[in-house]
């Protein structure tokens, strides 16, 4: 299985890729504003299920993320379910 197949098979991997793309857009902002903007975008446009899958994927052991995405993670809302 190649990395392209892994992304299509694992929703968490796809969501991490999407979050990295969002972070790339906001990386020109000052760090605090960028992190808040990333979290706001994810909270506004992603469903609660998507947010939960993303958070589960990034909290998996051995997962590394760019510092800006780690900072944004703190502002991402968990579902109430």
What value, to the nearest 5°, has the Cα angle with vertex 37 and ends 62 and 30? Answer: 90
CB atoms within 10 A of CB 3: 8
Number of other CB atoms surrounding residue 59 within 10 Å: 10
Query: What pLDDT, on a 0 to 100 scale, did the predictor assign at position 2?
Result: 54
Above pLDDT 90, what percent of the chain? 77
Q: Which tens digits make up the pLDDT trace of 37-53?
A: 999 999 999 999 999 99
Mean pLDDT of the residues in the chain: 89
d(CA 1, CA 71): 32
Look at residue 1 and tell me whether its pLDDT is greater than 60: no
Tell me, what's the pLDDT at 81? 53
pTM of the predicted protein model: 0.84
Task: Return the percentage of the chain with pLDDT > 70, whole number.
Answer: 89
């Amino acid at each position: 299985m190649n990395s392209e197949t892994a992304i299509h098979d694992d929703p968490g991997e796809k969501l991490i890729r999407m979050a990295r793309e969002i972070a790339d857009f906001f990386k020109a902002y000052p760090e605090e504003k960028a992190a808040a903007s990333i979290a706001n975008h994810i909270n506004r446009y992603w469903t609660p299920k998507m947010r939960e899958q993303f958070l589960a994927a990034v909290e998996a052991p051995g997962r590394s993320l760019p510092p800006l995405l780690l900072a944004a993670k703190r502002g991402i809302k968990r579902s109430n379910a």
